[in-house]
Amino acid sequence: MRKKLHKNIYTKKTNKISYNFSDNKQNIITRDKNDKTNNNPDRTNKINIFPIISTVIISGSIIAGYLFLNNNSSNDVILLSVESNDIISEETDLTTSTTTSITSTTTTLSTTTTITSTTTSTTVPLVVENISDAQSQLSSLGLYFGDINNILDNETKAAIKEFQRLSGLVIDGILGPITKAALEKGEDSYIAIGGADVDTPKITYSIDIENAQKVLKELNLYNGEIDGINGNGTKSAIKEFQKLAGLTVDGVIGPITKSALDKGEDAYVPIDTNEISINTNESTSSTNNGSLTVDLINYDPNKPCTVGYVNDSQIWVPDPCFYPVFVFRYGQTAQVNSQAELDAYLSQNWSLTKEKTYNSLGKVPTQNYTSGVNSPVNGLVMPSGANNSIVIGIKNDNNVNARPQSGPQNADAVFEVLVEGGMTRFINIFYQSDTSYHGPIRSARPTDPTVLRPLGGVLVASGATGGLIPEIVDMGVPVITDTRPDYFRISSRRAPHNLYADTVKLKSTAISRGYKKTNTPQPLFPWGNPSFDNWQSNSYLTLSFSGLTETTWTWNGSSYVRTYYDAYKNKNKNNIHSWSDINGNTGQISFKTIIALFCEPYVHPLQLPSVKTVGEGRAIILHGGKMLDAKWKRGSNLDPFHIVDSNNNILYVPKGKVWISLVPNTKNPSFG
């Protein structure tokens, strides 16, 4: 019996598009003028009419009064106990009571205090009225190292919090009356013994921590304040990220973790494909319970297929053709490609049925096509010396920050698939073609292996969410993730939209790892030279992937050019979609042949949009200003795409570089 794989690896993940940074600025309460008792201008005017000796005595009395107040332990305790018990907040105006206390003390001491030479060197009492005053005092205390700019930024807040910690105050980073009064006393407000917990970690600000918090919040790993302080919540989020990225889990932002954070979600590589255990020595065999052991690496696509099924123990039993299992719920059908998926669906109360099964359709017939001479990816005759060692499919970002992309204009074929947020991504297929500058590269999705499997292709991606990579490998599609020197990042774009690769190096890596399955991949479509007698004249085709993404292909007399509507960018419906090469040269994306395959959508257990690529559905093909409205069929993940008419007669697809859109069949196209 085949063991269950990757049990309970699925967790729901919600992707957020925008940052949610809080405004760290606080309203600062200004001291009442009556709080400046020792600097009262009226008192100064009165003193000027007395002899000089009176001036000295009275001034000494004032200074001594201040010193006595500063050392009055009972007043300190009262202030701290009020704040620690949260009876009076930092926003409460304490100027009246403070003024009364100072006046009384000064009056009592004015007739008894004698000025000494040591007290005359005491500076004028510090008054903290604004952020600049606080920054200056914090700087003198060695707690703040930034500019004196009167801005309550994260660095300043961290310094205030550290001062509050040392002084036994409520640690909130707010410069309220109590904190101001404590700052005016400087180190005299510190409670080093019997007050603040000496084991409490020191509060310090770090720009690296602040940047990490922003990334972690975008990844839904951190929901605290963006303050640049590595508190417990931040450390926990860092550790969770390190766990997902396969790094040492220590909660420290070192060089490796910092580099991984720059990649964001693309750093998630929970299991390296080199470490996946695949038994390449066992041949296909049956056991007493009917389970099968399948050689996923060295399979022979020409072997006869057996029927895939789910046995009595609800174990998904694959076969060499990888017939998927289907599950059903509320009128929806989901395509299941691995035990991990099956476990996840069953846990969500989907049900199994054997009513919907498909038979392998085998290889597609071709016309004027020679194996090894014509490309299986687009039907064209391959140039002499073409680098057709292996098929690779590279994920291409289609975020607004990723455009214009590099790669689609060089690819032999491109698949466009729906992802989260109503957006799309591309799978650029390279066989006889290459480019040294392909990107931006993004993470894998469930639909990717289903289109690469019939070609024996290798998936190239920056990583994947959760347990998706093991699942893809379990389907027999090897994965190459972010490795050097195959990948590199460019400085002109921000992560995660700056990861690029060289296809020559990627193919070499795939070969060296033993990922090659066949010398001559089977044709992906029934390539040929069709008669266009029954095709309609066509000028454009508009495809809707979601309410937020729409693409239009328009015939310009020589090829179909691409424009788009993208709600994330603007509301126009005629945005030119351009490509860019390494030198910055651009051009509009254009292809000779466009194929739209309308597929039934469903939601993968990782909460990722997916579509069924086994079964049948509507197919629209554009070529030479003509359009064919037909049907596609597939019986297994190893089948190519059969294009047929209403009577299931094969229809040939014109040869040429081809763009294939996997469109949800819930969205109707428009054309003319």
pTM: 0.57
Give the integer Cα–Cα distance in Å for 475 and 305.
Answer: 15
Top pLDDT among 491 and 33 is at 491
Residue 524 CB contacts under 8 Å (≥ 6 apart), including other chains: 376, 377, 413, 454, 455, 640, 641
pLDDT band at 484 (very low <50, low <70, confident <90, very high): low
CB under 8 A, 24+ apart: contacts of 515-520: 515/297, 515/390, 515/458, 515/478, 516/389, 516/390, 516/456, 517/297, 517/298, 517/299, 517/301, 517/456, 518/301, 518/456, 520/371, 520/372, 520/376
Query: Mean pLDDT of all residues in the chain?
Result: 75
Model confidence pLDDT, tens digit, residues 147-179: 999 999 888 999 999 888 888 888 888 999 899
Query: Mean pLDDT across the stretch 27-46?
Result: 35
Which of 466, 482, 465 lies closest to 256, judged by CA? 482
pLDDT band at 316 (very low <50, low <70, confident <90, very high): very low
Model confidence pLDDT, tens digit, residues 529-565: 999 999 999 999 999 999 999 999 999 999 999 999 9
Top pLDDT among 344 and 528 is at 528
Q: And the tokens for 551?
A: 């693409």
Answer yes or no: is pLDDT of 288 > 80: no
Answer yes or no: are the C-beta atoms of 240 and 221 closer than 8 Å.
Answer: yes
Answer yes or no: is pLDDT of 201 > 90: no
Query: Mean pLDDT across the stretch 597-620?
Result: 92
At residue 322, the pLDDT reads 54
At residue 72, the pLDDT reads 39
Top pLDDT among 209 and 53 is at 209
At residue 15, the pLDDT reads 39
Which of 551, 567, 252 lies closest to 421, judged by CA? 567
CA distances from 471 to 98, 149, 458, 481, 657 (A): 69, 54, 14, 14, 30
Model confidence pLDDT, tens digit, residues 244-254: 777 788 888 88
Most confident region among 181-190, 467-476, 481-490 by mean pLDDT:
181-190
Query: Mean pLDDT across the stretch 625-643?
Result: 93
Strand locations in 493-592, DSSP E? Answer: 499-501, 527-528, 536-537, 540-544, 549-555, 560-566, 575-576, 578-580, 586-588, 590-591
pLDDT band at 306 (very low <50, low <70, confident <90, very high): very low
Model confidence pLDDT, tens digit, residues 105-146: 333 333 333 333 343 334 456 788 899 999 998 988 889 988
pLDDT band at 70 (very low <50, low <70, confident <90, very high): very low
pLDDT band at 610 (very low <50, low <70, confident <90, very high): very high
At residue 291, the pLDDT reads 29
DSSP assignment string, 488-508: EE-TTS-TTTTEEE-HHHHHH
**Burial classification of residue 504, based on how many CB atoms lie within 10 Å of its CB (0-12 exposed, 13-18 middle, 19 or more buried):** middle
Give, as one character, the DSSP assignment of residue 401: G
Answer yes or no: are the C-beta atoms of 310 and 317 closer than 8 Å.
Answer: yes
In three-state secondary structure terms, 138 is helix
